[in-house]
Amino acid sequence: MALRKEPIGKLYYRIGEVADMFKVNTSLIRFYEKEFDIIKPHRNKKGNRLFTQNDVDHFHTIFHLIKEKGYTLEGAKLQLKENRVANNAPEEDIKNSLLRMKRFLMELREQL
């Protein structure tokens, strides 16, 4: 059994922790959540936002586009949308390839 070398991260981050990661106010985190549909935090029974590592990665991308590259909000939304379309295309190709392979194997099994 191989031991894991990298430490296991947290499953959920509170809004204050995410704000501290980017050295911004929590209001900016809430604003980005409202503006960008790719950020969907879970909420606990009290209504507190709980962000996954995937959400934090999306924040990093948004923060990079807006603060470091100087994109407007609309420009960042457009860039993210284009990246999603470009990233989904290979997944569709893989999915179709796997479905063709499955059909081939099913036919092969029936012939045996």
Question: pLDDT tens digit string along 4-48?
Answer: 454 556 889 999 999 999 999 999 999 999 999 889 999 999 999
Round to the nearest angstrom and report the end-to-end CA distance of the chain.
Answer: 38
Domains of the chain: 13-86 (1.10.1660.10)
Task: With a cut of 60, say whether residue 105 has pLDDT above it.
Answer: yes
SS3 category, 15: helix
Measured at the alpha carbon of residue 82, what is the angle toward residues 81 and 88, in degrees to the nearest 5? Answer: 90
Q: What is the pLDDT of residues 76-85, one digit of tens each?
A: 989 888 876 5
pLDDT digits (tens, 9 = 90+) for 38-93: 899 999 999 999 999 889 988 998 998 998 889 999 999 898 888 765 555 566 66
**Higher model confidence: residue 94 or residue 43?**
43
Please report the pLDDT score of residue 2 as a whole number: 46
Question: Rounded to an integer, what distance in angstroms lies between the CA atom of residue 55 and that of residue 43?
Answer: 13
Predicted structure pTM score: 0.65
101's enclosing H/E stretch is helix 73-111
